[in-house]
Structure 1
Amino acid sequence: MQIEVTGILGLIHLILTIYAIVRIVGSSAGTGSKVLWIALVLLLPVVGLILWFLFGPS
């Protein structure tokens, strides 16, 4: 059971990360802002996603 739950959570995290990166790239923010947000999402996986959902470019 432990492996299955971890696998599902990992898959959900991967989907959310890809979704965030696609939304960041498609936003109207400047190039520097996009690069910083993508780096934040990739380098701080959970915290970066939470910060992006709360404060990211719309």
Structure 2
Amino acid sequence: MGLEVSGIFGIIWLIIVIWAIIKTAQSSAGPVAKVLWILILLFLPVIGLIAWLLLGPK
């Protein structure tokens, strides 16, 4: 059994992840940190978003 995200919840989740990527790209962090955070958000969206909210660039 896998984690399936569909319907309105899927759209909301996609918007949140895109928002996190945009905020990361606009942050004052270094380019390597930005690329790493964006890759984490793309490839591990659930864990990446939680980690970004707790540890990400402020």
Range class of TM-score, shorter chain: 0.7 to 0.9
TM-score, reference length from structure 2 = 0.87
1:25 aligned residue: 25
2: CA distance, partners of 1:18 / 1:6: 16
Aligned to 1:37: 37
Which residue in 2 is equivalent to 1:14?
A: 14
The CA deviation at 1:9 is: 1.0
**Runs of 4+ residues deviating >4 angstroms:** none
Return the structure number with greater helix share.
1
Normalization by structure 1: what TM-score?
0.87
Q: How many residues align?
A: 54
User: Gapped runs of 5+ residues in structure 1?
Assistant: none
Q: Pairwise CA RMSD of aligned residues?
A: 1.3
Q: Extract unaligned runs of 5+ from structure 2.
A: none
Task: Output the CA distance in 2 between the equivalents of 1:6 and 1:34.
Answer: 28
Identity %: 56
